[in-house]
Structure 1
Amino acid sequence: MFMLFTAHQPAPAAAAAAPTAEDYASARKLVSDGIWGIVSSLDYLNGNSPFGNVLSYSDGGKGVPFFYLTTLDEATANFTAADSRASLAVSQYAVDGCPGLDPQEPLCSKVTLSGNLVKLDPQSREAEFARAALLNRHPRFSNLPPAGNFQLYKLKIKGIFLINSYKDSPKKLSVRDYLKVA
């Protein structure tokens, strides 16, 4: 007697609706209004297992998240290895509590920016902007001890994933169009 096993094939996904101008504005507003999110990467110190960490950030209103990270945190070591891929997930629930909704519901918007976490040259104009943006949103950063060896990073965005409705979520947004939103 032998048994025939077949692999389960997922149902084909419905064609995704094209993102609207409102989708881009929603994603930018969510990133700009947020002050913290979950940054995920591969934990190269632990067999490349998935690793998520709550991190404070600021985009300075420009859409690109900046971080002030200490080399004392194991998560920072993940970004300095050969593989600097990372993602930042921000939920509307963290911004305004999504009144009357559960954080997992599609109407409670969430955006994930994926790309590479890049350390900034501390003498660059971009680092000057990042420092000002971070201190504006997180004033306590100015009191961090020098022994923490905090350094400025940005997420160089390569992909954007937005969930904000039941009818046509999720959406993949163009990085170029996302960055154009004023």
Structure 2
Amino acid sequence: MAKFVAFAAILVALAVANAVPIKQESAAQKARYAMSKTSWVSIATISTTEGIQDYPMVNVKSTADAGTGIPYLFFSDLDLSVIDINSNPKASILATLADGDCVEGSLDPQDPRCPRLILTGTVVKVEDSQEEKLARSALYANHPDMEMWAGVHDFYISKMNIERVTYLGNFGGADIIDPSEYLATKL
């Protein structure tokens, strides 16, 4: 039994020593940090593509959260994901620190200590002009090439109306965070 306890203590020490050093304390703060640090996300939709209708479909999208925690996206109706969303707006978005903090901490992207944020909800076009201006500014700051896309293929700003927030950043399972708490949390 003593050997098991010693082994468990070593595992805990290694987990703490190699965890991504996020200064935020609450799960909501950690989730907001993950969203604020990412410049791209994976978006999963329900496919409308011939031959794989109703299957999950995933795509990579550039993003910015404009300090809000909301993933803003630059869309064209010609995009496969957008075609799916126009048919069924339900989606999940995965943000990860795999290309930043986890690389610096020498963590594999699948390591539970490499933070992942999964937002689930519906994707909608941003209609409010002030919000659209804020989102456009943040997207252009993160992705300067987007400014050239603006007049091509009718690109527009979309966002996720968040219904569920799932954060995984260590051993022991995921944290489910109330969306209102996530959105109200400040970094």
Which range, TM-score by smaller chain? 0.7 to 0.9
Partner of 1:156: 161
RMSD: 1.6
Partner of 1:44: 48
TM-score by length of 1: 0.82
**What are the within-5 Å matches in structure 2 for residues 60-75 of structure 1?**
60-75=66-81
CA distance in structure 2 between the partners assigned to 1:62 and 1:145 by the alignment: 22
Matched residue of 1:100: which SS? coil
Task: Determine whether 1:76 maps to 2:82.
Answer: yes
Is the contact between residue 150 and residue 156 of structure 2 (CA under 8 Å) also seen in structure 1?
A: no
Matched residue of 1:80: which SS? helix
1:98 CA drift (Å):
5.1
CA distance in structure 2 between the partners assigned to 1:145 and 1:84 by the alignment: 23
1:92 CA drift (Å):
1.4
Partner of 1:16: none
For residues 96-146 of structure 1, give each alpha carbon's deviation from its aligned partner in whole angstroms, at most 9, with x where no partner exists. 32522111111111110010000122x622111111111111111111162
**What are the within-5 Å matches in structure 2 for residues 89-168 of structure 1?**
89-96=94-101, 97=103, 99-121=105-127, 124-144=129-149, 146-166=151-171, 168=172
Q: How has the CA–CA distance of structure 1 residues 164 and 29 changed in structure 2, closer, same or farther, with 3 Å as cutoff?
A: same
Percent of pairs identical after alignment?
Answer: 25
Report the number of matched residues: 160
Is the contact between residue 92 and residue 98 of structure 1 (CA under 8 Å) also seen in structure 2?
A: no
1:78 CA drift (Å):
0.8
Any stretches of 5+ residues in structure 2 without a counterpart? 1-23
Greater share of helix residues, 1 or 2? 2
